[in-house]
């Protein structure tokens, strides 16, 4: 089973809203990732958690706040987003190298 699940599939939020994206994997992978992907561009790394600890934060604005409650779950808390934050948000997990991606959350900020 190489499944990573993400909820919600689609999200529309205003610039004053607070929302959260959720990601779950049950493959026992030690690392989990958040990526942002704009149209016609490759995924852009945002955060990496390794053994439930934040190991990489790629200079992401503070309006994005990651959380790793346990080894299977990864959240991304969103607050006061801008319209340019509209994108596909992808979660991935890995053990040794290959990363397996969830289906993504299509986020629109109005």
Partner 1 sequence: EDKVVQSPLSLVVHEGDTVTLNCSYEVTNFRSLLWYKQEKKAPTFLFMLTSSGIEKKSGRLSSILDKKELFSILNITATQTGDSAVYLCAVLNYQLIWGAGTKLIIKP
Cα-based torsion angle of the residue sequence 52, 57, 61, 67 in order, rounded to the nearest 10 degrees: 0
Q: CB of residue 108 vs partner 1: minimum separation in angstroms?
A: 16
Report the residue number, 79 or 103, with the smaller CB distance to partner 1: 103
Give the residues lining the site for partner 1 (CB under 8 A).
2, 41-43, 45, 48, 56, 88, 90, 97-104
Residue 80 CA to residue 78 CA, distance in Å, equals 7
Q: CB of residue 94 vs partner 1: minimum separation in angstroms?
A: 9
Q: CB of residue 16 vs partner 1: minimum separation in angstroms?
A: 29
Q: Which of 8, 21, 36 is nearest to 73 (CA)?
A: 21
């Amino acid at each position: 089973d190489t499944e990573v699940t993400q909820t919600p599939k689609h999200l529309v939020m205003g610039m004053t809203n607070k929302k959260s994206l959720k990601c779950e994997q049950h493959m026992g992978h030690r690392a989990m990732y958040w990526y942002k992907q704009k149209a016609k561009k490759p995924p852009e790394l945002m955060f990496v958690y390794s053994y439930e600890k934040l190991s990489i934060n790629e200079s992401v604005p503070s309006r994005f706040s990651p959380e790793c409650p346990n080894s299977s779950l990864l959240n991304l808390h969103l607050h006061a987003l801008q319209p340019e934050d509209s994108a596909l948000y992808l979660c991935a997990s890995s053990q040794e190298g290959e990363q397996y991606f969830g289906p993504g959350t299509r986020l629109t900020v109005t």
